Structure 1
Amino acid sequence: MANRIILNETSYFGAGAISVIADEAKKRGYKKALVVTDKSLMKFEVATKVLKVLDDAGLAYEVFDDCKPNPTIQNVQDGVAACKKAGADYLVAIGGGSSMDTAKAIGIIMNNPEHADVRSLEGAVDTKNKCMPIIAVPTTAGTAAEVTINYVITDVEKSRKFVCVDPHDIPLVAVIDSDMMSSMPKGLTAATGMDALTHAIEGYITKGAWEMTDMFHLKAIELISRSLRKACENDPQGREDMALGQYIAGMGFSNVGLGIVHSMAHPLGAVYDTPHGVANAIILPTVMEYNAEATGEKYRDIAKAMGVPGTENMTQEEYRKAAIDAVKKLSEDVGIPKKVSEVGVKEEDIPMLAQQAMDDACRPGNPKDPTKEDIIALYKSMM
């Protein structure tokens, strides 16, 4: 079997890195951008930092700022219409995973008009053409959407999220500038950071994991676990390390998949509008306990990467517990709720949520094959 790695073409890292955007656009001969972002990033003058770079370089653009925290089919359709109206030939996505996911879907549909029905993009769809070029500028340290081949869209009519997996959607250029993340409030920093940790841990234990992705995931776990608390206090080095850690996690999981933490988190976002990182953080320790028997010695590596001392002398039971406890402690320290009931989950909804989790594209990658009854029991244990 051949193991495949797909990464974006060019990435820039470091404070102030957004200055390269104009040079990248010019040398590639782009004429006009559609800037895809959200109203809050415009209001608080985060996205405008990038607009200034474009203005100073005399580059034309129009702004589409209607992205929602859990982007919907309607968001994508409106963005496609805005892109056509603007006559744009590339996209600049500014924001968290929501803005970048919206941009990915817009870019795919623009160059693959036969997929104008957004639902047709669910799963691993074999689109014919690469998406419209995207320059991705994350403002959160979590989703790594700037380096992944995945995006997630909410189907409001059916109260569900669906995952799209397409090598053609990956942004051409990623600009990971920690200055763009400095205005993130503590709660968002915590949620997106725990999302990144979930990517790294699930990616490390997923069925498709192999040596190269293990390298990415273990380094990401190390960076995130040592820097997230500092980032939540807006420490510059903490921000810098989180920006890198979440990107490295994305390099890994994008190529090997995730597991049922994400499968169970996606319905919470669709039904209750729970922030994705918060949902992942609540669910992660419980699913780690469920998966432990199918992970060999990997929890020893996770515990060590998270800074737990003495892992080499621990029994299997001890290091598995140590890894789970380290995740719980980090989550608690950054203020994540402990129960799904705290984010609105109702017990009568659990069978429906479990079915959505079973149908989710991330579920087959889980190291242990769950039944619907297993998922129901896991949700109930977190009430």
Structure 2
Amino acid sequence: MSSTFFIPAVNMMGAGSLDEAMVAIANYGFRKALIVTDVGLARAGVAEKVAALLAAADIQSVVFDGAQPNPTVGNVEKGLAQLRDSACDFIISLGGGSPHDCAKGIALCATNGGNIADYEGVDRSAKPQLPLVAINTTAGTASEMTRFCIITDEARHVKMAIVDRNVTPLLSVNDPALMVAMPKGLTAATGMDALTHAIEAYVSTAATPITDACALKAIELISANLRTAVENGSDMPAREAMAYAQFLAGMAFNNASLGYVHAMAHQLGGFYDLPHGVCNAVLLPHVESYNASVC
């Protein structure tokens, strides 16, 4: 059986990688960024910090902080309008899964036109999205490096899955220094999301030796470091290990796909607007125990 392995062209990891990314962005020749983030990161000054680093590299930017948890069609439309009004030539997503997914939706519609709902399903777009640099601040979703984009259709109360090679970011950045401020609850929820990704990819019928290797290493790193990261958020080795773990889990599920846990979690999240990582944490032991009982 043949298989294809999807991953961004460039991925920067570890302490100090944010500064390294600014050099790479400048070398691409981009002139103006739409920074897609959420209200919390904007208020905390993280978006302002990234904007200042861009300015030092002679790159202009504007901030769209309208990416809400479980980003919606409306979020994408508002961000797309700001992108066009500001004449931005690339996008930076800053945050966890919600800003990344919102930015992917904006970037895809910017070049392909139409509404993000037009691209629900697998490889529905015709053109590459606007260049996207994904700067990660959590250790869970791996949306900074995947071809998955999850957008809530608020009218239908449904989480749409856009699975498209054209939403893969150009560059991903995982600097653990940006993850230190995560509260315990968010650290735990995102860590469980990463664990779920790894387990579901490992038992997937589409798994390969490459995805299995990524999944098993992710499980090992999460087991050894998640508890420490939750209890002591300033533990940089644990934060960095979790950054690598969630990325490895992303490599696994980006290519082997997911299963029952995410299928159910997306339905609950779309209908009740629940935190994605918490849904996975609750569902994972029940689904896996059921799988074990019928196998």
Return the TM-score normalized by structure 1.
0.75
2:256 aligned with 1:253: no
2:276 aligned with 1:276: yes
The SS at the match of 2:49 is helix
Rg larger for: 1
Contact 2:139–2:191 (8 Å) recurs in 1: yes
Identity rate of aligned residues, in percent? Answer: 44
Which amino acid counterpart does residue 281 of structure 1 have in structure 2?
A
- Residue by residue over 1:66-104, the C-alpha shift from the partner in whole angstroms, topping out at 9 and shown as x without a partner, is 100110000001111111111111101000000000111
Q: Could you tell me how far 1:274 is from its partner in structure 2?
A: 1.2
Stretch of structure 1 that moved more, 51-60 or 63-72: 51-60
Alignment of 1:80-95 (within 5 A): 80-95=80-95
2:54 aligned with 1:54: yes
Distance in 2, matches of 1:137 and 1:275, equals: 21
Aligned twin of 1:238: 238
Structure with the larger RCO, 1 or 2 (CA within 8 Å, 6+ apart) = 2
2:139 aligned with 1:145: no
Aligned twin of 1:211: 209
Distance in 1, matches of 2:198 and 2:226, equals: 14
Which amino acid counterpart does residue 19 of structure 1 have in structure 2?
D
Distance in 2, matches of 1:268 and 1:289, equals: 20
1:193 is matched with which residue: 179, 191, 194? 191
Stretch of structure 1 that moved more, 67-76 or 261-270: 261-270
Contact 2:47–2:63 (8 Å) recurs in 1: no
Distance in 2, matches of 1:137 and 1:26, equals: 15
Distance in 2, matches of 1:192 and 1:12, equals: 20
2:178 is matched with which residue: 177, 180, 193? 180
Aligned twin of 2:266: 266
Distance in 1, matches of 2:284 and 2:259, equals: 10
Distance in 2, matches of 1:16 and 1:46, equals: 15
Aligned twin of 1:165: 163
Distance in 2, matches of 1:47 and 1:74, equals: 21
The SS at the match of 1:222 is helix
Gaps of 5+ in 2: none
Alignment of 1:353-368 (within 5 A): none
Distance in 2, matches of 1:25 and 1:220, equals: 29
Stretch of structure 1 that moved more, 94-103 or 20-29: 20-29
The SS at the match of 1:23 is helix
Aligned length: 293
Q: Could you tell me how far 1:226 is from its partner in structure 2?
A: 0.9
Which amino acid counterpart does residue 200 of structure 2 have in structure 1?
E
| Shift in CA distance, 155/205, structure 1 to aligned 2, threshold 3 Å | same
Contact 1:6–1:167 (8 Å) recurs in 2: yes
CA RMSD of aligned residues (A): 1.2
Aligned twin of 1:314: none
| Shift in CA distance, 2/294, structure 1 to aligned 2, threshold 3 Å | farther
Contact 1:22–1:59 (8 Å) recurs in 2: no
Aligned twin of 1:73: 73
Q: Could you tell me how far 1:58 is from its partner in structure 2?
A: 2.2
- Residue by residue over 1:209-241, the C-alpha shift from the partner in whole angstroms, topping out at 9 and shown as x without a partner, is 111100000000001111111111212111110
Contact 1:112–1:129 (8 Å) recurs in 2: yes
Which amino acid counterpart does residue 228 of structure 1 have in structure 2?
L
Distance in 1, matches of 2:177 and 2:262, equals: 28
Distance in 2, matches of 1:124 and 1:247, equals: 22
Q: Could you tell me how far 1:9 is from its partner in structure 2?
A: 0.3
The SS at the match of 1:132 is coil
Contact 1:21–1:53 (8 Å) recurs in 2: no
Distance in 1, matches of 2:69 and 2:214, equals: 27
Aligned twin of 1:227: 225
Alignment of 1:126-141 (within 5 A): 126-141=124-139
Aligned twin of 1:23: 23
Distance in 2, matches of 1:287 and 1:49, equals: 41
Gaps of 5+ in 1: 296-383
The SS at the match of 1:67 is coil
Q: Could you tell me how far 1:125 is from its partner in structure 2?
A: 3.1
Aligned twin of 2:45: 45
Contact 2:35–2:47 (8 Å) recurs in 1: no
Aligned twin of 2:12: 12
Q: Could you tell me how far 1:5 is from its partner in structure 2?
A: 0.3
